Amino acid sequence: MRKQLKKFAQFTALSSLLVLSACGGNQAAGDEDGESSGGAVKADIGVISYISGPGAAYGEAITNGLKLAQEEINGKGEVEINLVIEDSAGKQDQALTAAQKLMNSENVTGIIGPTLSTEMNVVGPEADLNGVPIMGTSTTAEGIPQIGDYVFRNSLPEALAIPASIDKAIEKYDAKKVAILYGNDDVFTKSGFDTMKKAAEEKGLEILTIETFQKGQSDYNAQLTKIKGLKPDLILASALYNEGAVIMDQARKMGIDVPFVGGNGFNSPEVINIAGDAANGLIVATPWYGEKEDDKVKEFVGKYEEEYGKKPDQFAAQAYDALYIMAEALKNAGEADRDALRDALAEIKGFNGILGEFSFDEEGDVVMEPTVLVIEGGAFKEFN
């Protein structure tokens, strides 16, 4: 028996050695040409992103946006940022180990990411305890910056986006009765629904019915038939674009022609690709509008298309701005120190990026004016 235990101990010792040696190899190799850049603040910024797995498209857009921003920022010479990118595969435990690696092995000054709100719920408290400033670029669920003093985000939360789009829709269509439809097994759509319901109640709208669906569902006729019978003025749908597009398609085929108001997950050009003409009449609020008449936006879209061969989406844009905010804070802090960076981040006010004017409130949450868009004739247009 003792021999067995001993063997087990050897086994674990050996295997942990294996882990240790395997993980220690790749130190940041970016700071070799350091001294020449004079007074520039040099900092390692960790990135936790969803690079592999079903949501890898988000992670790709985010890392592309970050890399583009990094190139420009380092080119200017005031701040020199070295990105250390780690994959989370969309899993909480992976995100947490990635964060531990960045905080303890790579000694990064700050972290951008992780991609999902669920991941942030796990990583945020740990970063906060370690005193590492962390900024989400795509975490829109409620309560994220409230995790702690070191947790920030620059992604427009649903609590700002949804009421804005509902407001504009009420104004335009004089809506009084609404039906709500949402996916109840996904954090994103569920939290979007909570915000929608609250907003609808605050605006005094009559909620005719609340219908649910599940991820990956393909037939929504039962829910839509019920909604059609109740004759709402507006349908509030908290769905991701893949389900959302199918819902719109089936609704239009059924003869429901009232406008849809969607959350952030509904906001994707893919809706038009999937649903075609049926997508007309979808109203979403977004921090990012690529057609905006603004020099910065045009320059960013041009550069991004040149580099990666496609149009940037909101994830790329938010990541791009996030790194600029980090750089601004690093410049103000004057040194690559975690606490100094946190204080400098908290003081960011009226930052002018491609998303518009941006400030942090006292909790580290977003203060900005969202743009409300509507799909008309197969394209996103500004909704007035």
Partner 1 sequence: MLAELINPYYLQVASFILINIILGVSIYITLSTGQLSLANAGFMGIGAYTSALLTLNFDLPIIGGILAGTLLAGVFGILIGIPTLRLQGVYLAIVTLGFGEVIRVIFVNWESMTKGAVGLSGIPHMGRELLNTLKEFGFDPKILGLQNNQFVFLAIFLILLGVTISIITFFRRQNRSRVGRAFAAIKLDEKAAESMGINITYYKVLAFAQGALVAGFAGALFAHVLAYISPADFAYHRAVEILIFAVFGGSEVIWGPVFGALFLTVMPEVLRFISEYRYMIYGLIIIIMMAVRPQGLIDVNILNWLKLKTSKRRQKHGTSSQKSM
Compute, in degrees rounded to 10, the torsion defined by CA atoms 25, 31, 32, 34.
-160
Cross-strand bridge partners of residue 360 = 366
Question: Smallest gap, in angstroms, from Cβ of residue 33 to partner 1?
Answer: 22
> Which residues contribute to the site for partner 1 (CB under 8 A)?
1-5, 7-8, 12, 15-16, 18-20, 22-23, 25-26, 51-53, 56, 59, 85-87, 89, 92-94, 96-98, 100-101, 103-105, 118, 121-122, 125, 129-130, 141, 143, 184-187, 189-191, 194
The smaller minimum CB distance to partner 1, of residues 88 and 280, is found at 88
Calpha distance 140→160 (Å, rounded): 10
360: CB partners within 8 A, 6+ apart = 152, 345, 346, 348, 349, 366, 367
Question: Smallest gap, in angstroms, from Cβ of residue 237 to partner 1?
Answer: 16
Where would I find the beta strands (DSSP E) of 100-205? 110-112, 134-136, 151-153, 177-183
Question: Smallest gap, in angstroms, from Cβ of residue 177 to partner 1?
Answer: 25
The smaller minimum CB distance to partner 1, of residues 126 and 343, is found at 126
Question: Smallest gap, in angstroms, from Cβ of residue 10 to partner 1?
Answer: 9
Question: Smallest gap, in angstroms, from Cβ of residue 109 to partner 1?
Answer: 17
The torsion angles phi and psi of 249, rounded to 5 degrees, stand at -60, -50
The smaller minimum CB distance to partner 1, of residues 19 and 255, is found at 19
DSSP states along 281-300: TEEEEES--TT-S-HHHHHH
Question: Smallest gap, in angstroms, from Cβ of residue 136 to partner 1?
Answer: 15
The smaller minimum CB distance to partner 1, of residues 37 and 184, is found at 184
Cross-strand bridge partners of residue 376 = 379
Decide: 39 and 47 in contact? Cβ < 8 Å: no
The two beta strands, 41-49 and 110-112, are parallel
The smaller minimum CB distance to partner 1, of residues 1 and 377, is found at 1
The smaller minimum CB distance to partner 1, of residues 83 and 246, is found at 83
